[in-house]
Chains A and B, each alone.
Chain A
């Protein structure tokens, strides 16, 4: 097994104390998927048709939710799902089975609720089977682990972490909060350390093939937009919890991820992780050649609304005002950035955006 992040473990062995949760100490064996892992879910409906605590009506729903969470941090590959698969289970068949069993291929359980068996050849994972113990009392819920009711979602999330090549950080003299700890306990979703591990194995990395303008220029545009709305369009103020600098910085970041191959969910998750200072991420891929394409406006608006909630509810920022409503905000920032990443200078981009606002139609880019 390959050893990573050995420094912390060595620190223990020579007698230094390490504060809990400080270390970022993900652990992995080495191999990773070179193609999308397609998981064949063979879990059936929840027992006796009872709705689970989180509202799921099948075991596949929390399993798919767990995969979707991991997918937000996987760039090179993505979990794919076959629902209600009927293929035979077995190791060595090239099928990634996720199923209940009373044994691990004929071997009895030993204290754990789930085991993952993953095969690798060289540096490539070639098969991963996730086996969940059907002799236990399961449910699906968030929050504190409940005695006598094993949370399926966090456990399958943990096992899927194995399936992508991660191992237990706490098996190596480290104390860290992670769903990949040998027992996740009250950790019900991926944490910064888990994300770092997933990114290490699967990030394409870098800032992307599309360069965005410097922040001072973007902020200058945003300030001019405010003036344009207030004085030119005579718009009244509306309440916002996002200050102007946060507005332009995070919307630009969202767009930067989007034009560099991130999905809406991936982009939003990564921006919010930046805001929370829980991780830095590369982009998700390389933008296609030619004119840089931007995402649909409804998705950008969705992000802007989520950003408002983030500032208000998580960051507890006070209310301010802006003459630019949310929709105008994302639409014109996107247009400004679209001109910029398609070879227009700052001044030209501002001019083109304001021409659009004044009703003179979409302007040509500068390529």
Chain B
């Protein structure tokens, strides 16, 4: 077993983006029973930082909380674009869970990142959240290149093609749309930027 304590540099990077002013949101009723299904606007409003980024490394370490021994994974991203807020070119976030040696801590509803994953990330502002992503995993949008055209397209965290931002938070579709129907990354980025600007003006 190879326990690796979190490095000071990592902690500073985490602190950098977490230093954004915390805004408390009321906890609304959970419309779908298990999760508060967040709309496009809500994701943007709750995310002080929205980036297009690629995971470049991940490192697991132990963390003590009272008598509990938790595995925390620090994921480092290379930021390509910042759509809201201000982000360094290299950004690290923590997720609860991970693997050290033979032991794995699995945490439901917390997204897992592999090195090479490219996503649009709506990052929350809680200093110690179970997940760094708004809505646990709802604020993660995967970028997958459509093989036929080479166009980068946007999928939900659950790998469903995102056809419209109006579909966000609406629950599962009756029919899974085709990949070619998904929003292109360029369109999605423009929509996020525009809506973030509109919401900031209100």
A positions within 8 Å CB-CB of B: 1, 9, 12-20, 29, 31, 88, 90-93, 104-122, 135-137, 145, 147-151, 154-155, 158-159, 162, 167-168, 170-175, 181-186
Complex CA gap A138/B23 in Å reads 26
User: Could you mark each residue 130-153 of chain B with 1 if its beta carbon is under 8 Å from any beta carbon of chain A, else 0?
Assistant: 110111111000001001100000
Taking A109-B130, A119-B104 as given, write out 12 further A-B residue pairs in contact, using a Cβ cutoff of 8 Å, ordered by the A residue number: A1-B112, A15-B148, A15-B180, A20-B172, A106-B65, A110-B136, A115-B108, A116-B106, A119-B106, A171-B159, A175-B172, A175-B174
Bound complex: CA A145 to CA B37 (Å): 13
Closest 6 CB pairs of A and B: A173-B159, A145-B33, A148-B29, A92-B69, A91-B68, A183-B34
Interface range on chain B: under 10, 10 to 19, 20 to 34, or 35 or more?
35 or more
B66 at the interface (CB under 8 A from A): yes
The chain A residue with its CB closest to the CB of B67 is A90
Among B34, B67, B107, B136, the most chain A Cβ lie within 10 Å of the Cβ of B34
Number of A-B contacts (CB under 8 A): 190
Find out whether the CB atom of A111 lies under 8 angstroms from the CB atom of B108: no
Q: Is the CB of A110 within 8 A of B160?
A: no
B34 & A155 in contact (Cβ 8 Å cutoff): yes
Query: Can you list 23 A-B pairs, Cβ within 8 angstroms, ordered by A?
Result: A1-B112, A12-B176, A13-B179, A14-B179, A15-B179, A91-B68, A92-B69, A108-B128, A110-B126, A110-B135, A113-B30, A113-B33, A115-B130, A117-B108, A118-B106, A119-B105, A121-B103, A121-B104, A136-B30, A154-B33, A173-B160, A175-B173, A185-B32
Residue numbers of B with Cβ under 8 A of A are 27, 29-38, 65-70, 96-97, 102-110, 112, 124, 126, 128-131, 133-138, 144, 147-148, 155, 157-161, 171-180
Cα of A88 to Cα of B33 in the assembled complex, Å = 28
Q: Which residues of A contact B34 (CB under 8 A)?
A: 112-114, 150, 155, 158, 182-185
The answer to whether B177 and A17 touch across the interface, beta carbons within 8 angstroms, is: yes
Q: Given A16-B178, A111-B138, A112-B35, does the pair A162, B130 have CB atoms closer than 8 Å?
A: no
Mostly, the A contact residues are loop
- Asked whether, in the complex, the Cβ of A183 is within 8 Å of the Cβ of B33, the reply is yes
Query: Would you give the shortest CB distance from B40 to chain A, in whole angstroms?
Result: 15
Partner of A12, one of B69, B102, B159, B172: B159
A155 touches B177 (CB 8 A): no
Alpha-carbon distance between A118 and B104 when the two chains are bound, in angstroms: 8
Q: Which residues on A sit within 8 Å (CB–CB) of B180?
A: 15
Q: Cβ of A121 and Cβ of B158 under 8 Å apart?
A: no
Chain B residues near A159: list those with CB within 8 A.
108
Contact B157 A18 (CB under 8 A): no
Asked whether, in the complex, the Cβ of A182 is within 8 Å of the Cβ of B65, the reply is no
Taken together as a complex, chains A and B put the C-alpha atoms of A18 and B72 apart, in Å, by 36
Measured in the bound complex, the distance between the Cα atoms of B129 and A181 in whole Å is 22
Which of chain B's residues have a CB closer than 8 A to the CB of A147? 29, 31
CA distance A96 to B70 in the complex (A): 15
Which of chain A's residues have a CB closer than 8 A to the CB of B31? 145, 147
The answer to whether A20 touches B159 (Cβ under 8 A) is no
Cβ contact of B102, chosen from A121, A136, A137, cutoff 8 A: A121
Hey, which chain A residues are within 8 Å of B172, CB to CB?
20, 170, 175, 181
